[in-house]
Structure 1
Amino acid sequence: MTATAPPTAALDTAVAKAAHRDRNVLRWLGAYTSSMVGDSVYYIALSWAAVQGGSPARAGAVMAVSALPRAVLMLFGGVIADRLGPRVVVIASDAVRCAAALAVAALLFLTSPGLWPLAALALVFGTVDAVFMPAVGALPARITNRDQLARVQGLRGLAIRVAYIIGAPLGGLGTALGGAAAAFGLAGLLIAVSVPLLTSLRFRELPAGDRAVTATPWQDLRAGLAHVRRHRVLAPLMLAIALGDLGFVSPLNVGLTLLADRRGWGAAGVGWVLAGFGAGSGAASLLLTVRGRLPRAGLVAGFAILAGSVAIGALAFVRGLAGAVGVALMIGLFAGLGGAMSSALLQTQADPAYLGRVTAVGSLISLGLTPLSMPFAAAAAGAFGLGPMYVASACVCGLGGVVAFAVPGLRRAELPR
């Protein structure tokens, strides 16, 4: 009788090589990149169709529809990812998003239904994102070994940069040539490319006894939150991520527009500064992709957050556009490095059975809570000036680095070899 290696053993043998040379990881990377490019095209199409179909206020409401279900349901999305497995959830999510985008494209091609199908599409995407994002975060740990997860985070960061660079022009071109219907159709087709790639992945399933699921989703959620709260690395790491993102989001969104207007850089100047940030972030992702592992991961994350906070504060005091682009490049480099190291620590420190729920907590902090700082930042800029607002934001961001240095568990955290 011939012995057959179990799927887990076969996967471990297959991924002994570096992740950026492993076909299994590269198939995942292709699927993720295609899905993210489709997302970028979708947002361009949605914003254009919403503006064309109603007043600015109604268009803004359509654009905001997806935020509420994403924030409210994100934690339960992590529960679903852990219960059903991340691959099933990601494939189903991409299939639903593809079908919804193509359905709206067909509807817009055949008739002019107004804003209601756009609002429905935004609601579907927001709801699906609530389960998609935790599953995407939990998936890498099932397709590669733990010592390759930092490299996978670098690859993921590069995919996000590529999606931003390619997606917006594609969305604009599709809208210009065929209107919103063509752009939605293109978004749906790009998302559809991910489904067969994801289906072909070799995937490590958790043993039934290691799935950490209980009788009800509520109990699963409480168990996941308790896992984060009691963990010597995850708990301070979540606090560091929250503080870093709270201080980072407003200066690079609301603050940058106000700063460009004050300095006379114009809209083109905003684009150049954001390009500098993107280049820095891409360089950090490339570094992790090539190196695969940086020693003293907790200390590196803390240093990167602190250095990025100093660069954020400095941006408000730079007069020339060229200098601002250079400072933005430093912000992107340090913020990208800190974010990638934090994500890699999250991936490697969390119990695989809880990874969907742990990712959901991190995603909720970054996407659900930190944007709430933007109205306060705008009010502070109006009341006290841009300089004090940037300095205050930099101090909040820097506190994330202080947490990384002050908490022994996080400071001594290492990535697996």
Structure 2
Amino acid sequence: MLRHRPFRNQFLANALSMVGSALTPVALAFGVLHVTGSAGQLGLVLAAYSVPQVVLMIVGGVWADRLPRQRVMITADAVRMLTQAGFGVLLVTGWSPLWAMMALQALCGSATAFFLPASVGLVADTAPPDRIQEANALLSLTRNLTGTVGPIVAGGLVAVTGGGWALIIDGITFGGSLLFLAMLRLPTREAASHRSDFRAEFISGWREVSQRSWVWSTILYCMVFNLAFSSYQVLGPAAFAGQSGGSMAWGVMVAGLGIGQLAGNSIALLWKPSQPLLVGRLIMLGGAPVFFFMGSDAPFWLTLAASFVCGISISFPDTLWDAVLQQHIDGSALSRVSSFDFLGSFLLRPVGFGLSAGAASWFGADNTLTVSAVVVIVATLVSLTDSSMRRLGREPAEDSAGHLVQKH
């Protein structure tokens, strides 16, 4: 796969930026807390990143279809390079007013809203058509690997040099990503001047989603799954907090989830099911047991095994989903469709965090975790009623709207 030069350049660009981004959660949190001493101000800085990312995701998808995706990603990387390195400089120098930190993170989140939909669309341009699933699996494998190792490395960097230098390194990795993207040589896409206006293209992108039940039903299903999964992230640590060595046990649990995600990506490199969405949906049922076990007195090894299986149930179907979109959605609309997908994934996460905490205070953490498991199971079974999702094969064919879709 990496012998194919266009995809290799995209892979190296993404891998570099992933390495830097994996340092950010620990470095930014500890850096902001060091200079402000306020968890409230840290929350504002994090919100300054996430809010524009969600708000501008659809806009980013439209422009990634209007302009060359490579150019959109280069511009986004340039912005992220300057904002993250600039944030690091603020922390290193000690001059860190809240407004400046929030402004830099807002710019970084906005740039990410343009980068993500363009990146999904670019895979369809750089990877051989018959190896798109492998391309997505490699990208996801790298993302999960850096996400597992990166926080550990970041913790060491923060301990030795402080959060500022780790963020400066993050900025440098975006610069490296920019250079690899600039080396891509792709056919010129249609210029924006020959296309319809922004509003018409937004409506056209929504039509691509709404006319295919396998697309919009999957987005809705993933919204519900992410809502339920929020209880793992909020109540999981609480379930171990009262135990001796609870923090270490929770760290092992999260590592088990991460290793499961790596395993899921590895499976996707080898297995190409003929009905990818149906197989992926059934595998997502494997995400339910971990909630049951965390909410009961199950042995630790059983809960850890369930966390590992949950990781597979998240990563393998996600890789199949990206490949299906890239194979069945026309390349001219791919970034817009993926932007609706990203919006659905991000939108209910903060809602889920708040609901999990509130439900736990009213009904107890154990009951809330059990309800989360039931929600995953019921939502999965309901989603299986979509016949177009069950029938969809690997190769493009006439879609549920009656149109012939192209494979790029």
Using the alignment, how far apart are the partners of 2:115 and 2:252 within structure 1? 31
Q: 1:164 to 1:94 in 2, by over 3 A?
A: same
> What is the CA distance between 1:413 and its match in structure 2?
1.1
Q: Deviations over 1:270-321 (max 9, x none)?
A: 1100111111111010111233x22211220121122322443344225333
**Which residue pairs with 1:25 in the alignment?**
7
Using the alignment, how far apart are the partners of 1:110 and 1:374 within structure 2? 34
**Which residue pairs with 1:313 in the alignment?**
292
Q: Is the 8 A contact 1:308 1:330 kept in 2?
A: yes
Q: Is the 8 A contact 1:265 1:321 kept in 2?
A: no
Using the alignment, how far apart are the partners of 1:368 and 1:239 within structure 2? 11
Amino acid at match of 1:312: F
Q: Is the 8 A contact 2:32 2:91 kept in 1?
A: no
Q: Is the 8 A contact 1:301 1:404 kept in 2?
A: no
Alignment of 1:181-260 (within 5 A): 181-206=164-189, 213-215=195-197, 217-248=198-229, 250-260=230-240
Q: Deviations over 1:200-220 (max 9, x none)?
A: 2243544569x99422x2221
Q: Is the 8 A contact 2:295 2:365 kept in 1?
A: yes
Q: Deviations over 1:61-112 (max 9, x none)?
A: 1222111111111111111111112211111111111122223334444452
> What is the CA distance between 1:263 and its match in structure 2?
4.9
Alignment match of 2:359 (pick from 358, 366, 380): 380
Q: 1:35 to 1:330 in 2, by over 3 A?
A: same
Alignment of 1:4-153 (within 5 A): 19-54=1-36, 55-153=38-136
Amino acid at match of 1:236: S
Q: Is the 8 A contact 2:66 2:191 kept in 1?
A: no
> What is the CA distance between 1:403 and its match in structure 2?
4.0
Q: 1:146 to 1:139 in 2, by over 3 A?
A: same
Does residue 343 in structure 1 map to residue 322 in structure 2? yes
> What is the CA distance between 1:23 and its match in structure 2?
3.5
SS in 1 for 2:381: helix
Q: 1:226 to 1:41 in 2, by over 3 A?
A: same
Alignment match of 2:148 (pick from 165, 174, 179): 165
Does residue 391 in structure 1 map to residue 373 in structure 2? no
Bigger drift between 109-118 and 404-413 goes to: 109-118
Q: Deviations over 1:206-264 (max 9, x none)?
A: 4569x99422x22211211121001142122222222222222x232102112112555
Q: Is the 8 A contact 2:284 2:313 kept in 1?
A: yes
Q: Deviations over 1:142-184 (max 9, x none)?
A: 1013322211221121111122133223323332333233222
Q: 1:329 to 1:318 in 2, by over 3 A?
A: farther
Amino acid at match of 2:339: A
Q: 1:312 to 1:340 in 2, by over 3 A?
A: farther
Using the alignment, how far apart are the partners of 1:212 and 1:394 within structure 2? 49
Alignment match of 1:272 (pick from 252, 260, 265): 252
TM-score (norm 1): 0.88
Q: Is the 8 A contact 2:235 2:365 kept in 1?
A: yes
Amino acid at match of 1:26: R
Q: Deviations over 1:12-67 (max 9, x none)?
A: xxxxxxx3543432322221111012112233222122101222212221222111
Q: Deviations over 1:313-372 (max 9, x none)?
A: 344225333222111001111222222222222222222111111111111111122331
Using the alignment, how far apart are the partners of 2:256 and 2:172 within structure 1? 31
**Which residue pairs with 1:9 in the alignment?**
none
Q: Deviations over 1:359-393 (max 9, x none)?
A: 11111111122331121122212222223212221
Using the alignment, how far apart are the partners of 2:233 and 2:56 within structure 1? 25
Q: 1:170 to 1:117 in 2, by over 3 A?
A: farther
Q: Is the 8 A contact 2:20 2:173 kept in 1?
A: yes
Using the alignment, how far apart are the partners of 2:191 and 2:168 within structure 1? 40
> What is the CA distance between 1:402 and its match in structure 2?
2.1
5+ long unaligned stretches in structure 2: 397-408
Amino acid at match of 1:223: S
Does residue 178 in structure 1 map to residue 157 in structure 2? no
Does residue 285 in structure 1 map to residue 268 in structure 2? no
Bigger drift between 103-112 and 269-278 goes to: 103-112
Bigger drift between 91-100 and 264-273 goes to: 264-273
Does residue 156 in structure 1 map to residue 113 in structure 2? no
Q: 1:87 to 1:400 in 2, by over 3 A?
A: farther
Q: Is the 8 A contact 2:328 2:395 kept in 1?
A: no
TM-score (norm 2): 0.90
Using the alignment, how far apart are the partners of 1:199 and 1:340 within structure 2? 26
Using the alignment, how far apart are the partners of 1:146 and 1:240 within structure 2? 27
- State how many pairs are aligned: 395
Using the alignment, how far apart are the partners of 2:345 and 2:46 within structure 1? 18
SS in 2 for 1:140: helix
> What is the CA distance between 1:122 and its match in structure 2?
1.1
Bigger drift between 266-275 and 300-309 goes to: 300-309
In angstroms, what is the RMSD of aligned CA positions? 2.3
Q: 1:208 to 1:119 in 2, by over 3 A?
A: closer
Using the alignment, how far apart are the partners of 1:153 and 1:227 within structure 2? 22
Q: Is the 8 A contact 1:141 1:352 kept in 2?
A: yes
SS in 2 for 1:352: coil
Q: Is the 8 A contact 2:53 2:110 kept in 1?
A: yes
Q: Is the 8 A contact 1:212 1:354 kept in 2?
A: no
